[in-house]
Amino acid sequence: MASGSSSSGNADPKRQRVLPVPKGVADVETFTPDSSIASDVIPSVNFGDRAGDRQPDMILLHYTGMPDVEGAIAQLCTAGTEVSAHYIVLEDGRIVQCVPESKRAWHAGVSAWAGEEDINSCSIGVEIVNRGHDWGYPDFPLRQIAAVIALCRGIMLRRNVVSHRVLGHSDVAPGRKKDPGEKFPWHSLANSGVGHWVQPAPIVRGDALQLGAISDAVSNMQAAFRRYGYNIPTNGKFDGPTMEVVTAFQRHFRPERVDGIADRSTMATLYALLESLPPDAATAIVAKAN
C-alpha cells in the first residue's frame, strides 16, 4: 500500500462507521482497558462502587436484545438508562470496554445465585450483540464467539473466576430473562475452558415432573437445583418459579428442548453437573445459601 495510513485502526472509515460513539459520551473520562484484547473504550456513565469492596468472581453473559448495535451502545453508555456492562462484544468480534472491571456495572438487575443477591457487585458483565428473542434471534457468528472466549479466558485468569461461575443472565434471573438463550454455544466455550459443561443426557421417554406436581420428588428436584446455585423454592410444589428455573437450566445446559418440564434428561444432566463440580464448590454454595 502507498501511504500505510489505511492500515491504522483509527483511520479506517469503515471501522469508524461500525462503532458509533453516542452523544455525550465524549465528555466522560476515559480509562485504560483491563483486557488486552479490548480494541476500544466507550466509557459509560452508568456504574458505581462494588459493595464492601467485593472482588468479582463471576462472569455474567448477556445478549443486547436490541435491533441494532448503535441503540445497544447508546443504551449501555448514556446517562438516564440506568444500565451498563463492562464489555460489549460486537458481531465482528471487536470488544469494547465501557466500565472498568474494578467498578460495579449495572447489568444483572434483580437476581440471585448461590445465596447471593447483589450479582452486580460480584460479577463482570459481558453484553454480546445479538437482537435476541424479540427480534428474530439470529445465530451468534463464530468470530463473535471466539472473541467472547478469549475475553472470558483473560478475565478468568486475572480474577480467578472458576468455570462454574461463568453464567448466563437467565441463570440468575430466570423469571425475567432469557439471555443469552438456547442458541448460545456454551459447549464451544467449554471446549476452550470457559464455563462448566457436561454432555447433555439424551432425551428419552420416562417419568417427568411438571407444573402442578406436589411431592417429595419435587422437593428433591428443587434441592438439587438449589445445590447447583439456582434460586428456587424448596416447597415441594412445582410452581411457576420452579418452572422458570427448569426452563433457564435447559436454555443453558440442555438446549435441545426448552419446555420447563423436569424430564429424565434434564435431571440426569443436572446431577452430572453437580458431580463434576470441584469438591469444595458444592460445600461453598450450600454454606452461602444458608
Rank residues 179 and 244 by Cβ distance to Zn ion and give the closer one.
179
Rank residues 169 and 227 by Cβ distance to Zn ion and give the closer one.
169
Burial of 13 (0-12, 13-18, 19+ CB in 10 A): exposed
Minimal distance, residue 188 CB to Zn ion, in Å? 20
- The two beta strands, 87-89 and 123-128, are parallel
Q: Is 236 helix (H, G, I), strand (E, B) or coil?
A: coil
Pick the piece of the chain touching Zn ion (CB under 5 A) from 111-119, 175-183, 199-207, 254-262: 175-183
Q: What is the rounded distance in angstroms from the CA atom of residue 286 to the CA atom of residue 283?
A: 5
Pick the piece of the chain touching Zn ion (CB under 5 A) from 49-57, 179-187, 244-252, 273-281: 179-187
Pick the piece of the chain touching Zn ion (CB under 5 A) from 81-89, 163-171, 233-241, 252-260: 163-171
Q: Which of 179, 182, 244, 263 binds Zn ion (CB under 5 A)?
A: 179
Pick the piece of the chain touching Zn ion (CB under 5 A) from 31-39, 46-54, 178-186, 266-274: 178-186
Applying CB under 5 A, does 251 fall inside the site for Zn ion?
Answer: no
Site for Zn ion in 117-136 (CB under 5 A): none
Rank residues 62 and 227 by Cβ distance to Zn ion and give the closer one.
62
Pick the piece of the chain touching Zn ion (CB under 5 A) from 13-21, 27-35, 165-173, 188-196: 165-173
Q: Is 7 helix (H, G, I), strand (E, B) or coil?
A: helix
Amino acid at 259: D
DSSP string, 60-113: EEEE--SS-HHHHHHHHHSTTS----SEEE-TTS-EEE-S-TTSEES---S--B
Determine the number of helices (DSSP H) and then strands (DSSP E) in the chain: 10, 8
Are the C-beta atoms of residues 172 and 60 closer than 8 Å to each other? Answer: yes
Q: Which of 169, 196, 252, 254 binds Zn ion (CB under 5 A)?
A: 169
Minimal distance, residue 179 CB to Zn ion, in Å? 4
Rank residues 169 and 226 by Cβ distance to Zn ion and give the closer one.
169
Torsion angle defined by CA atoms of residues 80, 84, 88 and 91, in that order, rounded to the nearest 10 degrees: -50
Mask for 55-94, x = binds Zn ion (CB under 5 A): -------x--------------------------------
Q: Confirm whether 127 is a catalytic residue.
A: yes
Read off the DSSP letter of residue 289: H
Q: What is the rounded distance in angstroms from the CA atom of residue 127 to the CA atom of residue 97?
A: 10
Count, residues near Zn ion per rule CB under 5 A: 3
Minimal distance, residue 226 CB to Zn ion, in Å? 22
Rank residues 175 and 213 by Cβ distance to Zn ion and give the closer one.
175
CB proximity list for 166: less than 8 A, separation 6 or greater: 58, 59, 61, 152, 156, 189, 194, 195, 196
Of the candidates 70, 82, 101, 127, the residue annotated as catalytic is 127
Rank residues 83 and 217 by Cβ distance to Zn ion and give the closer one.
83
Shortest-Cβ-distance residue relative to Zn ion:
62
**Which residue numbers are catalytic?**
127
Residues that bind Zn ion in the complex, under the rule CB under 5 A: 62, 169, 179
